[in-house]
Amino acid sequence: MAIIYSYPVVTPTADDYVLGTDATAADKPTKNFTIQSIVDIVSGGAAGLGAVLAISSDASDPTTGLNQSASNFLNVQGTGTFTAATFLDGTMSITGGIGTGFSSITSTDFVGNLTGIVQAGSSIAGLAGGTDAQNVLGVTQNVGDNSTRLATTAYVMAKVDPSVLTFVGTTGGNQTVNLTTETLSLLGTANQIESVSTAQTITFNFPAAGVILPDGSAATTQALGNDTTLVATTAFVQQEITAQDLDFSGDTGTGSVDLDTQVLAITGTALQITTAAVGQGLAISLPTNVTIGGTFTGTTFAGDLLGTVNTATTGVTQSAGDDSTLIATTAYVDNAAGAKTLDYAGDATGPFALNLSTDDLEFNGDSNITITAAAVAATKGIVTIDLNNDVTISGTMQAGTLSDGTFSGTAGTYTGGVSITSTTFVGALTGNADSATALAATGNIGFGGEVTLASAAPSATYTTGE
């Protein structure tokens, strides 16, 4: 930004300085000359500018032979006007009112338009006694002047107060922002309103991620049954709930639950179905012991099957020889029983195979043995085997003790006998029976036929005790 200095108009005095250039020096430095020194040079007569003017009235015309250059002035003084087509000191030149090559210009006042660019480091002095940048004065234009003229602070203040912006919101009253030292921030609310500034535009909109309304936000309650994307208030939800119920039906009967005021109860049947509600979970299961009044049909049974299985219960017939805890059907049993036989044999016959499923085992008696079979009573079938009262044995009968109730014999000794009838006795006959006493008495030995004594100790047979 260019800095423009404005100076007051003053009357020059002899001791005022005028900017000039030492043309004779190598670098042609710029120097300050007093007005008195310039007047002295001009009025120097034959030794100064007067001698040049005496030769030609146009000393600055380089085309005439009488022209002579004025140089090396030490002092130029005067009260008239100094005029030249071109003023040149080797660096600075002024031609046709346009000056070039100036390093700096010092003046108490400028008249006319000040145009161009003020270079960095240059300055225009302000009012005495103040800082230059703060006391540069300018002409205050009329309010509403729409031109390229410079505007003073007075013009700006008369047009608008640039320091304070007053604003008001829905709540909070009037607020102000100092535009010189503060910044006005237009902010949204997280998840509600967001503001985006681009160039000179501020855009307010809802966040793309969605909107979270603050607690207590109100909205219009839509009509019952409204099926749109409009926001639903709590009153809308309440009227929808009140108008709705849950209809349900079972194997028999129907029912309904008002979702606003009633609770759906799911109950089981004792020893059949158990229900348990915990938190948001509802468990429906069979109890440990289940009682079914009718017929239960299933393709698979797991675990122990206890109780009475009726005639309508069916099952899978397992493979023959399956030795497991699987349930056996009647077909499995029939197959297993039909494949089982009872082998039996006699002393000299057999063995024979008896099919336990289709054959019957019969007990038959023989001589001296009687077999009696009784019908099944009290889950028992009894077969009785008896020895006949009259036993006829064609061979030898042996017993540890032989007894008929009165007569008995053990280890070859018999007691209680009434009489013994035999055609032959073998072995010693001892005892004190009547016949034994008779034998001890004197008796007769009879010989039938011819008797021959072949030795000194003949033998004889006693045939009678009488």
CB 333 within 8 Å of CB 322: no
- The pTM for the full model equals 0.26
Cβ–Cβ contacts within 10 Å for residue 127, how many? 14
- Nearest Cα neighbor of 242 from 254, 250, 234 is 234
The sign of the CA dihedral 67, 72, 78, 81 is: positive
User: From CA 335, how far away is CA 314, in angstroms rounded?
Assistant: 16
Parse the chain into domains and list their residue ranges: 1-137, 218-260
Give the helix ranges, DSSP H, for 192-348.
234-243, 330-338
User: From CA 170, how far away is CA 400, in angstroms rounded?
Assistant: 133
Q: Please give the DSSP secondary-structure letter assigned to residue 46.
A: G
pLDDT tens for the 466 residues of the chain, in order: 567 667 777 788 888 888 888 878 888 888 888 878 777 776 655 555 555 555 555 544 555 544 555 566 666 677 777 677 777 777 888 887 788 888 777 777 767 666 655 544 444 555 555 555 556 677 888 888 888 888 888 888 777 666 788 888 878 888 888 887 888 888 877 777 888 888 878 888 888 877 787 888 888 999 988 999 898 898 998 888 888 888 889 888 998 888 778 888 888 888 888 998 888 888 988 888 878 777 777 777 777 766 666 666 677 899 988 999 888 888 888 888 877 888 888 888 888 888 877 888 888 888 889 989 999 999 998 989 998 888 888 888 877 887 777 888 887 777 877 777 777 777 766 665 555 555 555 666 666 666 666 665 555 555 554 4
User: From CA 25, how far away is CA 89, in angstroms rounded?
Assistant: 10
User: From CA 275, how far away is CA 254, in angstroms rounded?
Assistant: 20
Q: Please give the DSSP secondary-structure letter assigned to residue 159.
A: H
Residue 378 phi, psi (nearest 5): 55, 45
CB 268 within 8 Å of CB 275: yes
